[in-house]
């Protein structure tokens, strides 16, 4: 007989774990301390396996059934839901390790070590203030030219073009470091995206006679040997 919320709420723990079965392999395990944990019992490759769905009431009966149905669809497609979950966690971990913020801090640790403490502090604070809130959690390989331009636009609207220029330099240097270390394959700060080609601005906000306009931002390519200030 399928479970109901009333049955679950009224269920009491015992000296040993108790299993209350729903349908299609879904059951609720009630532990001696009183925890109520959703599990799915299923078979894959001739082996009996278990999949956890979280604790009741954080995961409701309806949500647990939806998770069960998702897992059953995977099984119908020949996919082990436990392995799919492990792969998803691994991808999430890799994305966190390859985020702009993680790589920027790695770059700063390696390449700003020889600079003065005040210089390192300025660069890191600029990243924390101007870039990380918008690009920090994004995988660096997924960052696009419009993403970077949006960051620079926010700075430009405050009228601090020198800060925009220095921020652009730092972003370009971090991305170049990511490319060199195999975490990215392209330079979005130099990728052509219409009028935003190369995401370039003039140093210290000074007018330039050549280069593409990006609104108030002027075009300027970050050189390979740039010194980030």
* 64-89 confidence digits (pLDDT tens): 999 999 999 999 999 999 999 999 99
In the prediction, which pLDDT does 95 show?
78
Tell me the C-alpha distance between 169 and 175, whole Å: 10
Is residue 223 situated within a structural domain?
A: no
Q: Tally helices (H) and strands (E) across the chain.
A: 8, 6
- With beta carbons less than 8 A apart as the criterion, state whether 31 and 19 touch: no
For the chain, the straight-line distance linking the first and the last C-alpha, in angstroms and rounded, comes to 69
Tell me the C-alpha distance between 25 and 42, whole Å: 6
Please tell me whether residues 211 and 113 are part of one structural domain.
Answer: yes
Q: Out of 53, 88, 123, pick the residue that ends a domain.
A: 88
Q: What is the number of domains present in the chain?
A: 2
The residue behind tokens 């007989």 is 1
Total Cβ atoms within 10 A of residue 210: 7
Please tell me whether residues 104 and 206 are part of one structural domain.
Answer: yes
Domain range holding 58?
5-88
In the prediction, which pLDDT does 226 show?
35
Least confident of 37-51, 70-84, 183-197: 183-197
Please tell me whether residues 13 and 53 are part of one structural domain.
Answer: yes
Q: pLDDT tens-digit profile of 172-185?
A: 999 999 999 999 88
Least confident of 64-73, 97-106, 193-202: 193-202
Residue 188: both structure tokens together = 């979005």
């Amino acid at each position: 007989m399928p479970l109901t919320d009333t049955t679950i709420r009224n269920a009491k723990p015992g000296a040993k774990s108790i299993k209350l079965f729903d349908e299609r392999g879904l059951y609720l395990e009630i532990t001696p301390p009183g925890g109520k944990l959703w599990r799915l019992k299923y078979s894959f490759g001739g082996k009996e396996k278990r999949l956890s769905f979280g604790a009741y009431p954080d995961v409701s009966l309806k949500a647990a059934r939806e998770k069960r149905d998702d897992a059953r669809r995977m099984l119908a497609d020949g996919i082990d839901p436990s392995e799919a979950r492990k792969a998803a966690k691994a991808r999430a971990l890799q994305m966190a390790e390859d985020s702009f913020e993680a790589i920027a801090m790695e770059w700063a640790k390696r390449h700003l070590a020889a600079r003065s403490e005040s210089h390192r502090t300025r660069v890191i604070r600029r990243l924390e203030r101007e870039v990380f809130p918008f690009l920090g959690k994004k995988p660096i390989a997924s960052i696009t030219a419009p993403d970077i331009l949006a960051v620079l636009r926010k700075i430009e609207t405050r009228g601090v073009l020198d800060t925009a220029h220095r921020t652009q330099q730092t972003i370009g240097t971090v991305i170049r470091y990511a490319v060199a270390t195999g975490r990215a394959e392209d330079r979005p700060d130099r990728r052509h995206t219409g009028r935003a080609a190369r995401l370039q601005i003039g140093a210290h906000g000074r007018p330039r006679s050549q280069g593409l306009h990006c609104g108030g931002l002027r075009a300027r390519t970050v050189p390979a040997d740039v010194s980030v200030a």
